[in-house]
Amino acid sequence: MARQSALATFAGAVKLATTDGADPATLRARVTSKGGTTERAIAVLDDAAVKTAFIRAVRAAAERSTEMGDALGKD
């Protein structure tokens, strides 16, 4: 049940992000109640520097993708 709930939440977020013209921060602000569960969860993620880790991970993947593309282009 928890898995299905998480997947449905994620699917709803993706649908909203793809159909609404607002940026993700605005969309998140619209659904975050002051003192609510989402606000609490975001505070924990911010304390753990998750945003920074995601940025680093995406950059690392992009760099590796470039390296792999360069290597494949040499063959």
Query: CA-CA distance, 45 to 3, in Å (whole number)?
Result: 20
For residue 21, give the 3-state DSSP assignment: coil
Structure tokens at 49: 């520097």
Output the pLDDT for position 23: 93
Output the pLDDT for position 73: 82
Does the pLDDT of residue 75 top 90, yes or no? Answer: no
Residues 32-71 have pLDDT tens digits of 999 999 999 999 999 999 999 999 999 999 999 999 999 9
pLDDT (mean) for 16-24 = 92
Residue 14 banded pLDDT, cuts 50, 70, 90: very high
